[in-house]
Structure formats: structure tokens, C-alpha cells
Amino acid sequence: MGSTKYITSMGELSRKDNSLCFRKNQKNVYLPIENIKEIYCMNEISINTKLLDYISSKNIVIHFFNYYGFYSGTFYPREQYNSGRLLVKEVEAYSSEKRIIIAKKIVSAIAVNIDEVLYHYYKHKNKEVKKTIDWIRNDFKIQLLELDDIQQIMLLEGELWQRFYWTFQFVLPTDFMLNKRVRRPPDNPINALISFGNSLLYTKCISIIYQTHLNQTISYLHEPSDGRFSLSLDLSEMFKPIIVFRTIFDLVNNKKLRVKDHFEKKVNYCILNEEGRQIFIKAFEERLDKTFLHKKLNRKMTYKTAIKMDCYKLIKYLLEGKDFEFYSLKEGQ
């Protein structure tokens, strides 16, 4: 799939012959262009149109985050894969009962993955999480089956996430308590981790969808709107329990991220500092590239590949009506 480059320091990124040059503190660092598929600019970085033209010719996506680690936007080259027939089918599905079917499959996959993540803790003597596991396996399933309205499905999805957040008090240490989910800006360390992780996964899904024929702006659970890639929101939701929250739980519970060492707390916000961001990014990328045995396919793959496979499952369903389920941890982890 190609590699990802993260630039976490302030500086200037430019084209130098047939490579990229990052200039920082009067020193040049050269980045070979071969095999790069996406670049993350995680600080205040100067660029020019000559660079963007070159990046575009190589079909490289650039994601921009500001100094505080908040997602700013994405430079998205001209689409390399276009399919008018698929675009028509995407719009038709959005305008028909297929939207409800796809949306319910997304929410169902979120639930299965939350269930699997919590069951790990239940097995390791965190018995309090069983209340949420039981709700997912019983009441949630019944309610989802009966719903035929997008707003009601999204309300149920919201309740699913709230019940998941409620279990954090039994899974995480007290200095990472989540009293309330606060997004922009995050107000405490756990909200800072969730917001940063969700932004990384959202942008990762943008890059993966770019490598398919799907249109980024047509979504099925989230309402399509201006100024965002809403299909990436749909796709990322299912992988948050697997990628974002497993990464958070591992880093926090193993004390690889510590409140006193890796966060900046101000009056109105809390963010990861540069060292904290680098620790999180490394763990995030390692989890995406983790190999597991897919039980149904009987072959090894990474979570990054699983995300792309979900794109192809959706394409087959839209074009051929082939039934499918989005990836869940029950298929291998």
C-alpha cells in the first residue's frame, strides 16, 4: 500500500529534484519519494505550489494538523480512479433502502468490535464491563433489527458509544477518567487521546479510500455535507474500537503515556505534547500494520488491508448486490 511519512517539527517542505526536502534549523533532510502514499504534517510547515504539483503527480495525499495536534485538512490530488457506473450506484443506494441496510451493517460492526474489546477485560477480571457486553448482545441487537430510520440508527449508535465510554472507569487508571466526551477542544488527557486518535484514523481512511473507485463524499450512516469526506467517517467508526481505543488502553495501562510527562494542560484545553504525539503515532502505525489470520479467508493480513477490503466489499454490494458484513474482530485479531 505504500508508506506513511510523519513530519512532527516546524520547518519547510519543498521539492528538490526528484525527492522531497524538509528544512529545519538550517539543515536539510531528504525524503525519497518512492513508495510514499501519504504525508502527515503535524506542525506548522511551509509549502509551495511547486511541491503540491509534484506531490499531485505522484498521487500522494497530505494531511495537515496544526501546532496543537488538531486536524486542519487534507490536500487531495486529482482522483486517480474514477467510475461513473459506481458513482451512480452510490447515489442510488444513498437514496434507497440500501442506505438503511449499509448504515445498520456499520453500527453492527462497531458493536461487535466494542464487545470484543470489552470481553478481553471481562476475561481479565474486569467484571463490571459485563453490563455493557450484555446490553450489546441482547437489547442493542433487538433494537437495531427493528429500526428503519437513519436518525434512530444514529441515536442508537450514540448510546452504544456512551455505554462504551462508561466502562472506561473500570479499564483505565483514575488520572485518565472520562467524565464526559469533549471534542473541540479536548479538556482532559483521555479526551485528548480520543480526539487525536480519531483524527489519525479518519485521515488514514481518506488515504485508503483514495486508492479505490469510491467517492469520498457519499456516505450512508453519517449525513453527507460540505467540507468533509463523510464516507471516511463511516469507515473509521467501525475501526475505532480496534485501532484507536486498543492503542489508548495499551499505552495508558502500560504507562507508556503518563499525564505528567506527555500532556500540556491549559485553562481551556488539554493536548498531547510532541513526545506524547510521537509515542501515540508509533503505536498507532504498529497496530495498523499488525498481522493477523483472517479466519474466513484463511490468510494473513493487516488491519490496514482489512479497511481496504471493506471498501471493496461495499463496491461489490453496490455494483452486484452481493451481501456482506464489514470486518469485525470475530474474523481474526
Q: Is the pLDDT of residue 188 over 60?
A: yes
User: Which residue segment(s) compose the domain that 58 sits in?
Assistant: 3-75
Average pLDDT over residues 109-129: 90
Residues 52 and 106 occupy one common structural domain: no
Looking at residue 183, what is its pLDDT?
63
Are 196 and 221 found together in one domain?
yes
pLDDT in tens, 150-180: 999 999 999 999 999 999 999 998 888 777 6
Domain boundary among 14, 41, 75: 75
Express each pLDDT in 189-237 by its tens digit.
888 899 999 999 999 999 999 999 999 999 999 988 877 889 999 999 9
Angle (CA) 170 304 43, round 5°: 80
Q: Residue 313: what pLDDT?
A: 96
pLDDT of residue 69: 79
**CATH code, 17:** 3.100.10.20
At 46-103, the pLDDT tens digits run 998 988 999 999 989 999 998 777 888 998 887 777 788 999 999 999 999 999 999 9
Q: What is the pLDDT at residue 1?
A: 47
Q: Classify strands 3-7 and 36-41 as parallel, antiparallel or unpaired.
A: parallel
Q: What is the pLDDT of residue 166?
A: 93
Q: Are residues 125 and 154 in the same domain?
A: yes
Do 325 and 234 reside in the same domain of the chain? yes
Mean pLDDT (the chain) is 89
User: Structural domain tally of the chain?
Assistant: 2
29, 129: one domain: no
Same domain, 71 and 92: no
pLDDT at 184 over 70: no
pTM over 0.85: yes
